[in-house]
Copies of this chain bind each other. A is one copy, B any other.
């Protein structure tokens, strides 16, 4: 039960793009450079985000990524699902149907309480992630940094930003 590193990377890339929405973005090389991450693996995360409709653009040498919708409409749950998929964590293999006293499939139309308990917990997990949107993430990242760092990051973004024409 480990979330791939790509989720962290994708989250930070999106947080970097959030203040640039709607018409500005950054090329893949800059998204990788800002956090000193290897470009090919960063590319993989950005492609996953693009497939999920969270970012758009990025193709070709002169391409760049922008958020595909408002930061307030993108949540940590969206990013997790884009990168790590939507499979449930708990997989029920219906072992109650096995063995000398196995239940019949007809008696197993509703999930047993073990599976139901895990799936309810997963729903609580997803609900919690769905309450954290990128606008809030970007605000808090800024609030945690000092004003010097914000100015420095602002200059770096200014030097790398691209604008949709």
Contacts and interface: CB of A to CB of B under 8 A. Distances in A.
- The interface residues of chain A, by DSSP majority, are classed as helix
Residue in A33, A101, A103, A128 with the greatest tally of chain B CB atoms within 10 Å:
A101
Interface residues of A, number: 64
A11 to B, nearest CB: 4
B76 A8 contact: no
A90 B156 contact: no
Contacts of A103: 144-145, 149
A149 B100 CA distance: 10
Given A1-B89, A35-B99, A107-B145, 20 more contacts: A2-B91, A3-B89, A5-B91, A8-B93, A12-B96, A15-B114, A34-B100, A36-B95, A36-B102, A76-B117, A96-B141, A113-B141, A117-B129, A118-B129, A120-B132, A121-B128, A122-B125, A124-B125, A124-B128, A125-B125
Interface of A: 1-3, 5, 7-9, 11-12, 15, 33-37, 76, 80, 84, 87, 89-93, 95-96, 98-104, 107-108, 110, 112-115, 117-118, 120-129, 132, 136-137, 140-141, 144-146, 149, 152-153, 156
